[in-house]
Amino acid sequence: MLAKAQTKDGRKTTWLDLNPKVTSTNELYGVVLLATREWKDGLMSKTMRTLANMADNDPKWIVLDGDLDANWIESMNSVMDDNKLLTLASNERIPLKPHMRLIFEIRDLRFATPATVSRAGILYISDNAGYQWRAYVKSWLAKLKTSEQNLAELPLLFEKYVPDTLFHCQKAFKHIIP
């Protein structure tokens, strides 16, 4: 939706959706064929090269839609660090240009390494059922040093007052930052 909105706003946004879990690492990044010593491009290497070689500077996004896996995400660390280069087994280096972005659409960070997490901006989007604030409350209560009675009563108070308060804030307040 954001790509379509940017396109309507005059910034033609090209985006490609890939699921890195449906292929092997060799099929994703490419491989040198042992029998012929020829390079065979992978899905990611071909996509990045194609977008990098486009003449315009319009926004280009590669949406990696699939769970993280140590096999494929570690090869992305050089793209996500200051170098912004995809280094292939053929010694080719494909740049991630300033107008290009990698967007990881994942369920959780269970298999993410600290190196991967430190190189990414993370945006958590909750559902309308209030999962996000309830997760904060649950985490806070787990660390809270208080009586068992308070630990039993506090969740009930949060459930009683927070949903209506958030609804009122959403409907009645003018937000300075959208």
Closest CA to 77 of 65, 64, 67, 87: 87
Tally of CB atoms within 10 A around 12: 13
Give dist(CA 138, CA 119) in Å, integer. 28
Sign of CA dihedral 19, 20, 24, 27: positive
Question: Could you list the mean pLDDT of each consecutive 10-residue stretch along the chain, which spans 178 residues?
Answer: 87 91 90 92 94 93 87 84 90 93 85 82 70 87 94 95 90 75
Q: Hey, where are the domains in the chain?
A: 2-118, 131-172
| pLDDT for residue 110 | 80
CATH architecture type of domain 2-118 = 3-Layer(aba) Sandwich (3.40)
| pLDDT for residue 109 | 80
